[in-house]
Structure 1
Amino acid sequence: MATPAASNTQEALPVFELSAFLALDGQPPTAELQEQCKQLAECLARTGCLVVRDPRVPASANDTFLDMLEGYFCRSEEQKQAEARPDLAYQVGVTPAGVEMPRCVVEPEACKQQLARLQPEQQPTLPTGADAKWRYMWRVGPRPESTQYAELNAEPVVPQGIPQWCAVMDDWGSKLLGAVQAVAAMAALGFGLPADAFTSRMDLGPHLLAPTGSDLHQHGQQGTVLAGSDLHQHGQQGTVLAGYHYDLNFITIHGRTRFPGLSVWLADGRRLPVSIPPGCLLCQAGKQLEWLTGGHVQAGMHEVLVTDATVASIAAAKAAGRSTWRVSSTVFSHIASDQLLQPLGHFAQQPGAAQRYPDTPAGLQVQRELEVIQLKRQ
């Protein structure tokens, strides 16, 4: 059942409860559940994102994860650089700040065309350089024994001196991936596709638990400029931590972070600052879902800024003696690298779908995207 979420700011997204779907255990869905699947799919198409509640994903696991990652990111840059793997396009290990380039920086003309469709008050804060955030990529789930895209399916990198690392990362990553798989199956049914239309293609995909770390002690002042970032004349006044972008993968899922700042753009162009309700998860459509639906679902645009609410949370954290690293709780789910991306079922019949979304191996699509944002050497 979908219920209204707690009010974020401009609009409340519905919360979709996954319990009834998870209880099916292989049985056909009831008419009521079919309707819920349809509403979930329509929400993805209408907004590019949705909020879900999965009873298998407790808030305590999110907290354990955030505690450990705050400790990791506060290490020295020299210590963290030991886990960087630029030769693997940073698809495992750490990505330092100042490496990933928002697509709007490297393809400004295409970005201008997109922004021209937004009202002035809905404009993002455009950066002019690389993101200020760090990121850690941790593989979730098994990988194929053989693949044409080995760098996207590499062995994980384990930091030294954190004995609980593998257990915590595997536990939290698998919980979030399980929630994404349930959402993918419900969306498929809601779109009139077989229930496994998406999940079968996700099998052995290069799924990544990918928390970002932003040092709010260094970058927590509103209105400052960092890492080449500049403030757009129509944007919200705040430091850019992750510049305006879409995700290249299938569906991204987020647990709660301890500092606000994420804003998403709905399919109709409205900007929505997001606050994930307690016990819930946020899902966002990525480029691979857009591909498989022939553009019926658009990859959701989003950014992370230092806002008034972020500044207030920084002050509260300092007063309580807590970390001021903003850690996201994120999994990038993927279609398996050797699977073809192509519009599925009735989506293939949409005018122009085959031309705009030609048959392309998922691994090749990912590699091309990584080259654009300068994580992979061309």
Structure 2
Amino acid sequence: MSQAAALPETIEPVSYALFDQDFEAFTRKLGDSFRRWGFAVICDHGLPQEKVDAAIGETKAFFALPEETKLKYKLPVAGQRGYTPFGVETAKGHQHYDLKEFWHVGRDLPPGHRFRSHMPDNVWPDAELPQFRQRVGWLYGALDAMGLKVLEAIATYVGLERRFFEPTVDFGNSILRLLHYPPVPKDGPHIRAGAHEDINVITLLLGAEEAGLEVKDHDGRWIPINPPPGALVINIGDMLQRLTNHRLPSTTHRVVNPAPERRGFPRYSTPFFLHFNSDYLIRTLPGCVDAAHPDRYPEPITADDYLQERLREIKLA
């Protein structure tokens, strides 16, 4: 599908209602947004707001627990499950750590599954928050299912069979990250999230109450992303950029510190990092290679090898 002749200079929301009403239009609008920005915004997605609010409520309740209680859930699995404390993750190439703490939920695997050696069981703060598992677990499943729908449109946009991605992500090492950015008391070298690109296939983010997310445009400008209330922000990750030979770009983004009048307010968000199955071989799609666009990645790599390489770079492995 060709790029539109003139694309908007802001990220225009795409209604999820088009998915069933006019899939071709949904695919074109979503794909053009990804191709222009590396980001897209979906409104009317149908995720029940009361269930989203309940999951975010559990998130806020967890991060309000005493530090010694939260640290009970810090596991020796390099941040892939449970709690990662403030001051650990550092964006690739940055000296100063990000101003955030987070909780990770991963995919539950059946007994004996071939990925159990590197995808551990989840942990849950059942003693402190008895509804956390059910409410946050619902959000994981809802975003995982929505990710599959988005991938149907992406597959169609780049000329693949509509359900091409289903068997590549059905046991993917996908992570729901519950993020807490505490209040920022003063100016300093650290920001809430340093400029970075995501490692994974696509990221689905429910809009945060506090501003701060910015995307770097082609000319180096930082453009704020302020989606409508309740909308989903979705961006391309490095794995999909590699697979599509940069036809769909993984765009640099960051979370800046708040304006002085908002420094006393925390920020919460819930990105879902959708991943390929660990043994999926990321090999450039033939349809994304031509004389004008030679293959940037002639050597394929498995999704897990790529992930582990990148986790080491951001101090999570």
How much has 1:65 moved relative to structure 2? Answer: 1.8
The alignment partner of 1:264 has SS state of strand
Tell me whether 1:244 sits opposite 2:195 in the alignment: yes
- What is the match of residue 123 of structure 2? 157
Q: Please list every run of 5 or more consecutive structure 1 residues that lacks an aligned counterpart in the other structure.
A: 1-9, 25-31, 106-127, 231-238, 316-323
Aligned residues: 309
- What is the match of residue 99 of structure 1? 88
For the Cα contact (< 8 Å) 2:34–2:248, is it kept in 1?
yes
Higher helix share: 1
1:189 to 135, 138, 156: 156
Q: Quickly say closer, same or farther: Cα 1:267–1:342, change in 2 above 3 A.
A: farther
The alignment partner of 1:210 has SS state of strand
Instruction: State TM-score, norm by structure 1.
Output: 0.75
| Alpha-carbon distance between aligned partners in 1 of 2:68 and 2:78, rounded to the nearest angstrom | 19
Instruction: State TM-score, norm by structure 2.
Output: 0.89
1:330 to 271, 274, 277: 271
Q: Please list every run of 5 or more consecutive structure 2 residues that lacks an aligned counterpart in the other structure.
A: 1-7
Tell me whether 1:44 sits opposite 2:44 in the alignment: no
1:201 to 153, 158, 168: 168
How much has 1:98 moved relative to structure 2? Answer: 1.4
- Give the fraction of aligned pairs with identical amino acids, expressed as a percent: 24
The alignment partner of 1:252 has SS state of strand
How much has 1:279 moved relative to structure 2? Answer: 2.8
For the Cα contact (< 8 Å) 2:108–2:121, is it kept in 1?
no
How much has 1:331 moved relative to structure 2? Answer: 0.7
- What is the match of residue 72 of structure 1? 62
How much has 1:298 moved relative to structure 2? Answer: 1.8
- What is the match of residue 181 of structure 2? 214
Task: Decide which moves more: 130-139 or 174-183.
Answer: 174-183
For the Cα contact (< 8 Å) 1:251–1:289, is it kept in 2?
yes
Q: Quickly say closer, same or farther: Cα 1:16–1:199, change in 2 above 3 A.
A: farther
How much has 1:195 moved relative to structure 2? Answer: 0.9
2:283 to 339, 342, 348: 342
For the Cα contact (< 8 Å) 1:255–1:328, is it kept in 2?
yes
| Alpha-carbon distance between aligned partners in 2 of 1:367 and 1:138, rounded to the nearest angstrom | 18
For the Cα contact (< 8 Å) 2:242–2:284, is it kept in 1?
yes
The alignment partner of 2:192 has SS state of strand
Q: Quickly say closer, same or farther: Cα 1:55–1:131, change in 2 above 3 A.
A: closer
- What is the match of residue 122 of structure 1? none
| Alpha-carbon distance between aligned partners in 2 of 1:371 and 1:181, rounded to the nearest angstrom | 28
| Alpha-carbon distance between aligned partners in 2 of 1:326 and 1:131, rounded to the nearest angstrom | 13
For the Cα contact (< 8 Å) 1:54–1:280, is it kept in 2?
yes
Tell me whether 1:356 sits opposite 2:307 in the alignment: no
Q: Residue type matched to 1:14 in 2? A: E
The superposition leaves residues 153-195 of structure 1 with CA deviations (integer Å, 9 ceiling, x where unpaired) of 2100111310001111111122222222111111111121111
Q: Residue type matched to 1:154 in 2? A: P
